[in-house]
């Protein structure tokens, strides 16, 4: 019996090859992983963002410093400056003109109309216990703030009471900032010279352009504050 001859099938003539597993494309994964990481970090920051710092209320003036420690002469000087600049039961949140802010997470940068003195008709961003204008705060905070901003996209320095004190304390304690050692002058009893040096910065200290009702009392206030700081320090 004759049989038709059939050619062998293709499958019978090929040698089977092992299946190849595709290699992962890590370059494509990198943007996705970065996006997930940024989303998680920002979400964690927003959810864990602390309550903005608030200003304590004192029942006497000049109020004590929130900052702890430091040289009593500089501490007394700081309280003397604030007696002239922000004589209030809530000095850390006060704006020029007497209004208060509720958020001290950063400098408020609000320009309030000047109603008296040689600059009447202009406005000022002076705020806080030491009446920092925005530009001065940013400049000095960049040098002396103990906690610089942590996020590269949010370059804001906390305006919390503790940090207002810390920035001013470090600034006043830096001889290079003033061209003289203010602590040494204060220990030598040269308060008037110190007030004259500081008057271009804080113009109500007696040698500037904006004296007020507290200016003539500043030497008396300083010695009272120094006595208190030496006693409690």
Taking residues 94-120, report their average pLDDT.
Answer: 96
pLDDT for 39 equals 54
- Domain-located, residue 96: no
Answer with the residue of higher pLDDT: 15 or 195.
Answer: 195
For tokens 């002396």, the residue is 144
Angstrom distance (rounded) from CA 16 to CA 81: 90
pLDDT for the residue numbered 52 = 63
Domain count, the chain: 1
Considering the domain boundaries, does residue 186 fall inside one?
yes
**Residue 101 is assigned to a structural domain of this protein:** no
Q: Is 37 helix (H, G, I), strand (E, B) or coil?
A: helix
Kindly indicate the confidence band of residue 10, based on its pLDDT and cuts at 50, 70 and 90.
very low
pTM to 2 decimal places: 0.77
* Domain presence at residue 18: no
Residue 103, CA distances (Å) to 117, 127, 144, 193 in order: 29, 12, 21, 36
pLDDT tens profile 25-81? 656 656 665 666 545 544 444 444 556 677 888 776 789 999 999 999 999 999 999
Find the domain containing 194 and state its range: 72-87+133-232
3-state secondary structure of 186: helix
Task: Provide the pLDDT for residue 233.
Answer: 77
- In the three-class reduction of DSSP (H, G, I as helix; E, B as strand; rest coil), residue 219 is classed as helix
Reported as a pLDDT band with limits 50, 70 and 90, residue 138 is very high
Question: Considering the domain boundaries, does residue 55 fall inside one?
Answer: no
pLDDT of 58: 74
Query: Which one has a higher pLDDT value, 51 or 194?
Result: 194
Is 47 among the domain residues? no
Comparing CA positions, the residue from 183, 195, 77 lying closest to residue 129 is 77
Question: Is the model more confident about 140 or about 30?
Answer: 140
The average pLDDT across 212-228 equals 97
pLDDT at 123 over 70: yes
Instruction: Give the model confidence (pLDDT) of 143-189 as tens digits.
Output: 999 987 765 445 689 999 999 999 999 999 999 999 999 999 999 99
Higher pLDDT: 27 or 207? It is 207
* Mean model confidence pLDDT for the chain: 84
Position 183 in a domain: yes
| Mean pLDDT value of segment 5-15 | 44
Structure confidence at residue 6 (pLDDT): 42
User: Looking at residues 93-110, what average pLDDT do you find?
Assistant: 97
* 228 occurs within a structural domain: yes
């Amino acid at each position: 019996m004759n049989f038709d001859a059939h050619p062998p099938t293709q499958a019978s003539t090929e040698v089977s090859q092992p299946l190849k597993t595709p290699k992962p494309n890590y370059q494509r994964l990198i943007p996705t992983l970065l996006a997930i990481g940024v989303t998680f970090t920002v979400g964690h920051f927003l959810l864990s963002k602390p309550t903005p710092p608030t200003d304590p209320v004192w029942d006497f003036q000049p109020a004590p410093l929130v900052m702890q420690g430091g040289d009593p002469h500089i501490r007394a000087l700081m309280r003397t400056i604030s007696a002239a600049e922000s004589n209030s039961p809530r000095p850390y949140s006060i704006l020029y003109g007497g209004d208060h802010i509720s958020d001290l997470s950063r400098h408020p940068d609000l320009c309030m109309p000047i109603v008296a003195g040689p600059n009447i008709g202009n406005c000022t961003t002076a705020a806080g216990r030491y009446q920092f204008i925005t530009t001065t705060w940013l400049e000095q905070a960049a040098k002396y703030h103990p906690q610089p901003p942590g996020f590269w996209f949010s370059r804001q320095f906390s305006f919390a009471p503790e940090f207002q004190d810390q920035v001013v304390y470090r600034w006043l304690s830096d001889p290079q900032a003033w061209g003289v050692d203010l602590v040494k002058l204060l220990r030598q009893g040269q308060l008037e010279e110190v007030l004259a040096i500081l008057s271009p910065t804080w113009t109500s200290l007696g040698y500037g352009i904006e004296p007020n009702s507290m200016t003539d009392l500043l030497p008396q206030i300083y010695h009272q504050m120094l006595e208190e700081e030496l006693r409690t320090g």
